[in-house]
Amino acid sequence: MLEAIYIGTMTALHPAMLVAVLFGVIFGLFIGMLPGLTSTMGVALLIPVTFSLPPEVGLAMLGGIYCASTFSGSISAILLNIPGTPSAVATMQDGFPMTQRGEAGRAIGLSVYASSIGGLFSVVVLLFLAPVLSELSLMIGTREYFLLALFGVTIIATLSSGDLFKGLMGGILGLVISVVGMHPMTGEMRLTFGLPALYDGLPVVIALIGLYSVPEVISILGGRRASDESARSTSFAGAMNTLRDVLRQGTNVLRSSIIGTFIGIVPGAGQSIASFIAYDAAKRSSKDPGRFGKGSEEGLVAAETANNAVTGGSLVPLMTLGIPGNAVAAVLMGGLIIHGLAPGPALFTGTPEVAYGFIISLAVANLMFVPLGLIVARYCFRAIMLPKDVLAVTILALAVVGSFAIRGQLFDVALMLGVGLLGYVFALLSISRAPLVLGLVLGSMAESNLSRALMLVRGDPWELLFQLLTRPFSAGLILLCVISILFGMRKSTKADI
Amino acid sequence: MSAYQKNLVTAVLFVVIGALLSWDAFRYSYNSSFFLRGLALTLLGLGLSYGLILLVKKPSVEGVAVEDDARNRDMFFGAVPAFKVFAIVSAYVLLLTATGFLIATLVFAFVGQVVFAGEFRRRHLAYALCMTFVIFYLFFEALGVRMPAAPLSLDPFFRTS
């Protein structure tokens, strides 16, 4: 194995590979920053470019996009309170308050170093523990997926920012919106109002764009950005010196890296869930949980470490079993197949230079986006200095084009505007939008897996409950859910007092 | 509007949404809607419970009055830009369907800046032109996003591919 790693390292450090990673990282940084363009879209867009390249070079470029775009979603989240990618919503909870406090540079610095460390951790896991962990991913069935989604829902208490009732109602509304469209098992249409554009449901990215960009523009124009002046007077110098601050949070970084990598290994779970769970875990174990949501560095570091740790984790089942861990991994799988490579154990034994070269190039990408990310963010930082009218039309134009880009339908722009109205009402009534996003992300996963699990026990809920309690993995998840709920209730009672 | 009144409006809003969803959810077959039914009923229950708790724990009149003034002013100033944003973006979407990306975005960016700033400046036109062409070439040319089709579109004349 060490010999294969050596071959992979030599392959990854070849100048052609480094140039490919560099191109991928630059492209990924821009893709992730723009609302509406996701990592999946970025990787898919460049697959045709890799046709003419050797497989290891093409894959290195795609890996660079994946790692960099996962990080750069946080840039617009921190500077403008608009997440570039769904996984940046947890980052935004504390990133934007830091910008309002005049610490945008520091927030970007923490984000870039935490992302890099999380990404590197997951690459090490992918390199040494992939075969063992892939066995674990096979133990997870529909029941466990449902429980994982349920565990995600219990995090709502953490994201409710004060009022548990409002958080719960927002979260459930998110779950309801996520089930709009065709039922995964019966095919019956629900809540579509007869509109064919809603048959496939409401894309999460469109909902995110509307939910955050429209209220933010209204807030900018209304002049209610509380610390606008302090945001403008801030400097970017603090960004460079934050590595030590990230390393000081060793336990938080390690815990978030493990959470991100584990969630990445579970096929279909995704970066958003990982960042929310890591954020929740950081808040629970923090000595100062009251700062979360108001510019806590711990919260920002946890969310960013976890979402980048998903990158390596999601490639574990892909590279060892041929099962993609998430949408980006599925597109990467397409890239492997196009180059005549079969994902699975044979990839490591038959073409070690490609398999290990790709893994090491992911580590290179995670290191490369640190300086590049800081440079790009430094220029983006100027966006908050723009006059309000210019900033408002730019955000709105990007929101409209970003919503249109997902499926190429103008109806989606109207949908974005509708969700924007909902976001505005939420902002007016002081209801946190994060639980709604969590519900949106988890809803379809919870419903489809609950339906499948019930089908396996012929619709008998008691039999399902018995199975959940007697399977060790699902019983462990139930225990986690109970602990999470009890913790949330305790926190809510304390807040009332 | 005070925090208490906001919470009360929230409770009423979710009771209405929960009731409408519950009514709709029971129109679908059980297999397709057991999850939705559960969510709708939970939402209704939470809304009712929240409303009842608020009515029982009604704060003193003085406490409410203190914060009323500033909050009402906030709501008023928030409503004007909100109306402007929704009106301008809706007009932009309608214009996109008729004139395509370039003309619609140029008009939107220019008019938007003038309306949001409350005055005309030459830089508004310059920025509108720059932004329109940067987004056009970035999204539709470099990234290959499909363009909205429109009968009066000038977009094809500016395409390089």
CB-based contact B39 A430, cutoff 8 Å:
no
DSSP chain B: --HHHHHHHHHHHHHHHHHHHHHHHTTS-HHHHHHHHHHHHHHHHHHHHHHHHHHHTPPPHHHHHHHHHHHHHHHHHHHHHHHHHHHHHHHHHHHHHHHHHHHHHHHHHHHHHHHHHTS--HHHHHHHHHHHHHHIIIIIIIS-PPPPP-TT--HHHH---
CB-based contact B112 A392, cutoff 8 Å:
yes
The proportion of chain B whose per-residue pLDDT surpasses 90, expressed as a percent, equals 36
Question: pLDDT value at position A73?
Answer: 85
Q: How close A468 comes to chain B (CA, Å)?
A: 18
- Region class of B100: left (phi > 0), else alpha (psi between -120 and 50), else beta: left
The answer to whether A188 contacts chain B (CB < 8 Å) is yes
Who contacts A314 (Cβ-Cβ below 8 Å, separation ≥6)? A264, A265, A324, A325, A326, A328, A329
Q: What residue in A sits closest to B80 (Cα-Cα)?
A: A222
3-state secondary structure of A456: helix
3-state secondary structure of A182: strand
Question: Residue A182 forms beta bridges with which residues?
Answer: A189
Token pair in block for residue A387: 């006059």
A6-20: per-residue pLDDT in tens?
Answer: 888 888 899 999 999
For range A121-136, the mean pLDDT: 79
Residue B116 with chain A: CB contacts under 8 Å: 221, 388-389, 392-393
Q: What residue in A sits closest to B133 (Cα-Cα)?
A: A397
Q: What residue in B sits closest to A459 (Cα-Cα)?
A: B31
For range A99-108, the mean pLDDT: 85
A139-166: per-residue pLDDT in tens?
Answer: 777 888 888 888 877 777 666 656 778 8
Mutate to test the interface with B, among A31, A37, A169, A430 (most CBs of B within 10 A): A169
3-state secondary structure of A442: helix
DSSP A229-296: HHHHH--SGGGGGGHHHHHHTHHHHHHHHHHHHHHHHSTT--HHHHHHHHHHHHHHH-S-GGGTTSS-
Question: pLDDT value at position A226?
Answer: 43
For range B22-41, the mean pLDDT: 90
Q: Which of residues 64-123 of A touch B (CB under 8 A)?
A: none
- Region class of A35: left (phi > 0), else alpha (psi between -120 and 50), else beta: beta
- Region class of A324: left (phi > 0), else alpha (psi between -120 and 50), else beta: beta
Please count the CA atoms within 13 angstroms of the CA of A305 that sit on its side-chain side.
Answer: 31
Per residue, what are the HEC states of A334-376? HHHHHCCCCCCHHHHHHCHHHHHHHHHHHHHHHHHHHHHHHHH
Question: pLDDT value at position A158?
Answer: 63
- At A235, the pLDDT band (50, 70, 90 cuts) reads low
| Of the candidates A149, A156, A192, the residue with the CA atom closest to the CA atom of residue A173 | A156
ipTM of the complex: 0.87
- Asked if A355 and A348 touch (Cβ cutoff 8 Å), the reply is yes
Residue identified by tokens 């509708």 is A418
Q: How many angstroms separate the CA atoms of A68 and A39, rounded?
A: 9
Residue A388 with chain B: CB contacts under 8 Å: 116-117
The pTM (predicted TM-score) of the whole model is 0.78
Mean pLDDT of chain B: 83
Give CA angle at B154 (B148, B158), nearest 5°: 95
Residue B124 with chain A: CB contacts under 8 Å: 389
Q: How many angstroms separate the CA atoms of A194 and A490, rounded?
A: 44
- Asked if A27 and A66 touch (Cβ cutoff 8 Å), the reply is no
Kindly tell me if the per-residue pLDDT of A211 is higher than 80: yes
Q: How close B3 comes to chain A (CA, Å)?
A: 8
Q: How close B108 comes to chain A (CA, Å)?
A: 8
Q: How many angstroms separate the CA atoms of A444 and A450, rounded?
A: 10
For range A183-200, the mean pLDDT: 86
Question: pLDDT value at position A491?
Answer: 60
Q: How close A459 comes to chain B (CA, Å)?
A: 9
CB-based contact A421 B113, cutoff 8 Å:
no
Rg (CA), chain B: 24
- At B106, the pLDDT band (50, 70, 90 cuts) reads very high
For range A302-309, the mean pLDDT: 93
Task: Please indicate whether residue A361 or residue A291 has the higher confidence score (pLDDT).
Answer: A361
- At A84, the pLDDT band (50, 70, 90 cuts) reads confident
Exposure b/e, A441-469, CB count within 10 A at least 16 = b: bbbbbbbbbbbbbbeeeeeeeeebeebbe
| Of the candidates B140, B113, B108, the residue with the CA atom closest to the CA atom of residue B124 | B113
Kindly tell me if the per-residue pLDDT of B33 is higher than 70: yes
A40-64: per-residue pLDDT in tens?
Answer: 777 877 777 777 788 888 889 989 9
CB-based contact B35 A447, cutoff 8 Å:
yes
Question: Residue A189 forms beta bridges with which residues?
Answer: A182
Question: pLDDT value at position A299?
Answer: 92
Kindly tell me if the per-residue pLDDT of A102 is higher than 50: yes
Q: What residue in A sits closest to B98 (Cα-Cα)?
A: A410
Q: How many angstroms separate the CA atoms of B85 and B116, rounded?
A: 9
Residue identified by tokens 């919870």 is A446
CA dihedral A382, A386, A392, A395 (to 10 degrees): -20
| Of the candidates A490, A497, A91, A2, the residue with the CA atom closest to the CA atom of residue A301 | A91
Task: Please indicate whether residue B66 or residue A159 has the higher confidence score (pLDDT).
Answer: A159
Give CA angle at A254 (A253, A259), nearest 5°: 95
Q: How many angstroms separate the CA atoms of A222 and A408, rounded?
A: 32
CA dihedral B16, B17, B23, B26 (to 10 degrees): -150
Question: pLDDT value at position A480?
Answer: 81
Task: Please indicate whether residue A19 or residue A315 has the higher confidence score (pLDDT).
Answer: A19
Question: Residue A190 forms beta bridges with which residues?
Answer: A181
Q: How many angstroms separate the CA atoms of A108 and A79, rounded?
A: 9
Across the interface, which of A173, A224, A447 has its CB nearest the CB of B78? A224
Q: How many angstroms separate the CA atoms of B66 and A80, rounded?
A: 32
3-state secondary structure of A181: strand
Q: How many angstroms separate the CA atoms of A24 and A332, rounded?
A: 13
The answer to whether A139 contacts chain B (CB < 8 Å) is no
Token pair in block for residue A386: 């723009």
The answer to whether A457 contacts chain B (CB < 8 Å) is no
The answer to whether B9 contacts chain A (CB < 8 Å) is yes
Question: pLDDT value at position A6?
Answer: 87
Question: pLDDT value at position A136?
Answer: 67
CB-based contact B113 A431, cutoff 8 Å:
no
Question: Residue A181 forms beta bridges with which residues?
Answer: A190
For range B153-158, the mean pLDDT: 78
For range B70-87, the mean pLDDT: 70
Mutate to test the interface with B, among A401, A436, A445 (most CBs of B within 10 A): A401
Return the number of other C-beta atoms located less than 10 Å from residue B2's C-beta. Answer: 16
A447-483: per-residue pLDDT in tens?
Answer: 888 888 888 888 888 888 888 888 888 888 888 888 7
Who contacts B143 (Cβ-Cβ below 8 Å, separation ≥6)? A37, A45, A405
Q: How close B26 comes to chain A (CA, Å)?
A: 11
Kindly tell me if the per-residue pLDDT of A227 is higher than 50: no
